[in-house]
Amino acid sequence: MLFQTTRRLLTGTYIALFSNIGMALRICAGWLLFKYLLYFYLGIGEIDTWGFLFDKSFWLSDKEIILLVLFNLTPFVYIPSIAVAWIRGLMLGEKPWVIHLRFGLRELKFIGWTFVLYISWLVFFIISGFVILIIPGFFLQSVFGNASFLALFVEGVLLLIFGLFALSPAASLSLVLSAVACDEHLPVGKVFDTVWSLGAPMVLAGVAATLPVMVLTGFYSFLFGFPVTGYPGGILGLFVVEGLNLVAVILASGILTGGYYILRERQMPSGGGPQVPKD
């Protein structure tokens, strides 16, 4: 059941992307252009965007402060905008504009719920990590020694189990974001029953779906250097790497969409579709 659902989510995500490539381009093109214009306006090629944090004095220029703030704020705008548009496009058949730069109350609610879910997961992560990793880790090191292969192997297995254990509830809770994107109400309690039957497959499918994008991004950056104007790779690097980042957002949103569709199938006799899940 675990791997069957994982395979369904993964294949469905990629099929949805390649079947709706035009919609993906409309959703992402505007934000890619916006990011490029932002970088060009701020003159990224003339500023070492990371080096000034380490090589210069503590005091930053006004331009560098604006650059740093915008670099950290833009993902909180374009990620919910792209995610909401993609989920609504697949679930409700909504067609985005040619230039999609929407960020309204729906996207604001989406990012708000994201913060709430993240804080809840962080608390769970700290507590479960202490119970699953820290305590057994001290025990294994005291019994077998710090450098023991057996201790390292067992700790590695525990780490994998912990990753799946900690991320599966977060994946299930993230289905609330799909409901928010579709202007629907999904009680949080309804997703707890799907932690292992749907949350775990969403984690595995999400990693498998976005891993190729992360590998391509790292490979390109390794070959051409940091992809900004004035650096090896230049403008091409900006479009390639930033474009890959947006594709990763589309794929992650596809996993959310597929998970929400499967949840509807399980909750409603009529199967998936635009109906509201039962309370």
What are the φ/ψ torsions at residue 8 (nearest 5 degrees)? -65, -45
What is the predicted pLDDT for the residue at 220?
75
What is the predicted pLDDT for the residue at 6?
93
Contact 250, 32 (CB under 8 A): no
Contact 32, 243 (CB under 8 A): yes
Three-state secondary-structure class, residue 57: coil
Q: How far apart are CA 107 and CA 138, in angstroms?
A: 44
Lowest mean pLDDT among 7-11, 64-68, 163-167: 64-68
Instruction: Determine the average pLDDT of the residues in 250-261.
Output: 95
Question: What is the sign of the dihedral through the CA atoms of 114, 115, 118 and 123?
Answer: negative
Provide DSSP, 68-130. Answer: HHHHHHTHHHHHHHHHHHHHHHHHH-PPPPSS----SHHHHHHHHHHHHHHHHHHHHHHHHHI
Nearest to 77 by CA among 101, 44, 98, 99: 101
Q: How much is the pTM?
A: 0.80
Confidence of residue 113 (pLDDT cuts 50, 70, 90): very high
pLDDT tens sequence across 21-40: 999 999 999 998 888 777 77
Q: How far apart are CA 95 and CA 222, in angstroms?
A: 37
Lowest mean pLDDT among 91-95, 98-102, 144-148: 144-148
What is the predicted pLDDT for the residue at 273?
52
What are the φ/ψ torsions at residue 57 (nearest 5 degrees)? -70, 170
Q: How far apart are CA 130 and CA 135, in angstroms?
A: 6
Nearest to 109 by CA among 170, 185, 177, 174: 177
Residue 15 tokens, joined: 């099929």
What is the predicted pLDDT for the residue at 50?
46
Top-confidence residue, 144 or 272 = 144
Confidence of residue 64 (pLDDT cuts 50, 70, 90): low
User: What is the tally of helices (H) and strands (E) in the chain?
Assistant: 10, 0
Contact 200, 168 (CB under 8 A): yes
What are the φ/ψ torsions at residue 60 (nearest 5 degrees)? -105, 155
**Does 120 score more than 80 pLDDT?**
yes
What is the predicted pLDDT for the residue at 244?
87
Top-confidence residue, 15 or 166 = 15
Nearest to 91 by CA among 237, 266, 262: 262
What is the predicted pLDDT for the residue at 133?
65
Contact 80, 114 (CB under 8 A): yes
The mean of the pLDDT values for the chain is 79
What is the predicted pLDDT for the residue at 92?
94
